[in-house]
Amino acid sequence: MKNLLPLLALAVGMVFTSCASSKMGKPGEPIFVAPVGVQAYSFRNYFPKDIPGTLDRIQAMGITEIEGGAGRIPPEEYKKMCDERGISIPSTGSSFNELAEDPMKVVETAKKLGSKFVMCAWVPHDRGNFSLADAQKAVAVFNTAGKVLADNGLTFCYHAHGYEFQPYGDGTLLDYIIENTDPKYVSFEMDIFWIQFGGGDPVALLKKYGKRWKLMHLKDMEKGIEKNLTGGTNVEYNVPLGTGQLDMRNILIEGRKIGIAHYFIEDESSSVVEQVPESIAFLRSLTY
């Protein structure tokens, strides 16, 4: 038996190596194999004028998932329109105040859309001065509302917006939020643009917190842009994926490793109609 131990250890190691590499493609195989999704906010200048036409445009781009609603119509009607075009709504948004005041209303809306995830993209605060008190309030609301959502079959995700990179202890206030929220009730959506803009490293944070990240916003940032902690910048700094300063290749490889559930292209620029197809082509062109 003693002589078999090295062989058993080798066999176990080979199994784990095989499992790890199973999430990686072979040379020449595509890196991005997920359905193409889009954040509805990308088309905020189009939905108010023509919801069906905007959904037709999105469908024509080959997009099959959308995050968020159109705003002006009941969620059931919006879902029906998406269903007719083969577009699902796996995730939708909620404001911080909605989560704090009436999380069951958030649950009801998400279920009407057929969503499994609910994201919140902003914690109210004095812009540019996100504080420990703000982070503590966020933790309390997220843990409480997250439990209500989880009890109703939904997963809550906080979408970090860059201002959370205020230093705290040995890390940042984003670390504080992640480490003080209950993993059973609170997950996270990585918007790679805002993580980078706030001074974070998307690949390093994906590795550090692994499966706490469930969703991802795919967007790229013009090269040379100065970063800050306001959580806001010129929307025209959104450029087609692969043409900016984000390490898209390694971000997507790491996202695939940890099992990101859904990816949504978000392009806040005025050129969204031209740029989103370019971004989709880039995603599909990436290979190992």
Domain boundaries, given as residue ranges, for the chain: 32-285
pLDDT tens digits for range 177-211: 999 999 999 999 999 999 999 999 999 999 999 99
pLDDT at site 72: 83
> b/e per residue, 235-266, with b = 16+ CB within 10 A?
eebbbbbbbbbbebeebbbbbbeeebbbbbbb
pLDDT tens digits for range 4-34: 333 333 343 433 333 333 467 899 999 999 9
pLDDT at site 262: 98
Q: What are the beta bridge partners of residue 30?
A: 287
* Helices 173-180 + 132-151 axis angle, to 10: 30
pLDDT at site 23: 60
Q: What are the beta bridge partners of residue 265?
A: 38, 218
Q: Which superfamily does CATH assign the domain made up of 32-285 to? A: Divalent-metal-dependent TIM barrel enzymes (3.20.20.150)
Q: How many CB atoms lie within 10 A of CB 131?
A: 13
Instruction: Say if residues 221 and 245 touch (Cβ distance below 8 Å).
Output: yes
Alpha-carbon distance 280 to 278, whole Å?
5
**Low-confidence residues of the chain, pLDDT below 50?**
1-22
pLDDT at site 56: 98
Alpha-carbon distance 273 to 270, whole Å?
8
pTM greater than 0.85: yes
